[in-house]
């Protein structure tokens, strides 16, 4: 099940709001039974549960892909580590290495 | 100097005030003698109302007698992204007044007064955090000035967060205090580590 925050971001994007500040625009709270919208301060209508549920699958996919990207970034290493590979083993070797990391960690 | 030896002193007629001495006098009870006053209860002391009337009262109330310290039985990985998430501390280290509820993570104030509360929260996950804060909530509302926010403004992420927050609160009986934690994580999950603590005691 996707995070409520992800579904809200998708709902906002679909309704013309490019970014959401969860410290001002929308305040979420979770008292132990799952997150809910505590405050809605955006100009667009607060989404219904049904509207949010409609984004569940896409939000799940986006979160999985975010995790994949995070894993790739971790495996690529720091810029310094990649620069060292570039200098010591050449550009082709670096591209080959990073392509393999990408292939091993495909997006959904 | 003369000595008055009697067993009982009563007012001459009916009931009322019996006056001992006058302004400037000292009325003393010598060493070895005891003064037996009726009334009051164990542990109480004589106090004045400032107008010459003494009465027995509990001095200091229950300050220092109310104290609790709680933790988690294990890591809590149910925290949700970008939400103020209540940490349900479910394991008591001690709870002298039995006023902490481990099923809802709530400390309920047994009597009005000033209380000190503190919390230490350790949250960790992947290298995916970009906002963290810890706050005390009173009766379901944030006591905002107990919060501590940490944000990387350059867009980088971090993977661990350890925060202490504390405050002295003037509370009424049955007010309740909880700890809320917020973590914004770009991906993956976050966990509230079992080393986290919540504690408090009555000051006055």
| Terminal C-alpha separation, chain A | 15
Q: Quick one: average pLDDT of B124-151?
A: 80
If pLDDT is split at 50, 70 and 90, which confidence band does B163 have? confident
Q: What are phi and psi of A82, to 5 degrees?
A: -70, -35
Q: What are phi and psi of B123, to 5 degrees?
A: -120, 140
Write the residue in B86, B184, B188 that is nearest to A70 by C-beta.
B188
> Is pLDDT at B15 greater than 90 in this prediction?
no
Q: Quick one: average pLDDT of B49-62?
A: 78
Contact (CB<8Å) B84/A5: no
Write the residue in B83, B104, B105 that is nearest to A30 by C-beta.
B83
B68-101 pLDDT, tens digit per residue, is 999 999 999 999 999 999 999 999 999 999 999 9
- Residue B54, pLDDT score: 85
Question: Whole-number mean pLDDT of chain B?
Answer: 87
- Residue B61, pLDDT score: 65
| pTM of the complete model | 0.74
Contact (CB<8Å) A69/B187: yes
Q: How far apart are CA B137 and CA B106, in angstroms?
A: 10
> Is pLDDT at B144 greater than 80 in this prediction?
no
How many CB atoms neighbour CB A64 within 10 A?
14
Query: Which residue, among B135, B140, B143, has the nearest Cα to B183 in the 3D structure?
Result: B135
- Residue B193, pLDDT score: 95
Residue A43 touches partner B, C-beta closer than 8 Å: no
- Residue B196, pLDDT score: 96
- Residue A51, pLDDT score: 97
């Amino acid at each position: 099940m996707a995070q409520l925050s992800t579904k809200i971001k998708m709902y906002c994007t679909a309704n013309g709001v490019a970014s959401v500040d969860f410290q001002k625009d929308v305040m979420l709270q979770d008292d132990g039974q799952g997150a809910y919208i505590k405050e809605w301060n955006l100009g667009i209508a607060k989404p219904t549960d049904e509207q949010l549920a409609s984004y569940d699958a896409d939000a799940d996919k986006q979160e999985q892909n975010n995790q994949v990207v995070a894993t790739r970034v971790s495996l690529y290493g720091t810029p310094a580590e990649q620069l060292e590979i570039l200098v010591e083993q050449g550009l082709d070797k670096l591209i080959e290495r990073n392509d393999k990391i990408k292939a091993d960690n495909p997006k959904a | 100097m003369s000595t008055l030896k009697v067993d009982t002193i009563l007012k001459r007629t009916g009931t009322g005030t019996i006056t001992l001495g006058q302004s400037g006098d000292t009325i003393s009870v010598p060493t070895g003698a005891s003064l037996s006053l009726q009334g009051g209860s164990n542990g109480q002391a004589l106090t004045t109302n400032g107008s010459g009337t003494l009465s027995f009262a509990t001095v200091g109330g229950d300050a220092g007698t109310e104290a609790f310290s709680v933790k988690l039985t294990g890591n809590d990985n149910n925290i949700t992204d970008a939400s103020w998430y209540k940490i349900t501390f479910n394991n008591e280290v001690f709870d002298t007044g039995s006023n902490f509820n481990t099923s809802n993570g709530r400390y309920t104030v047994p009597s009005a007064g000033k209380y000190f509360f503190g919390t230490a929260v350790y949250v960790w996950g992947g290298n995916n955090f970009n906002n963290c804060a810890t706050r005390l909530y009173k009766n379901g509302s944030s006591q905002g000035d107990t919060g501590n926010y940490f944000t990387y403004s350059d867009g980088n992420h971090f993977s661990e967060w350890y925060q202490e927050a504390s405050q002295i609160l003037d509370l009424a009986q049955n007010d309740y205090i909880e700890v809320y934690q917020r973590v914004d994580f770009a991906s993956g999950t976050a966990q509230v580590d079992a080393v986290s603590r919540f504690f408090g005691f009555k000051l006055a």
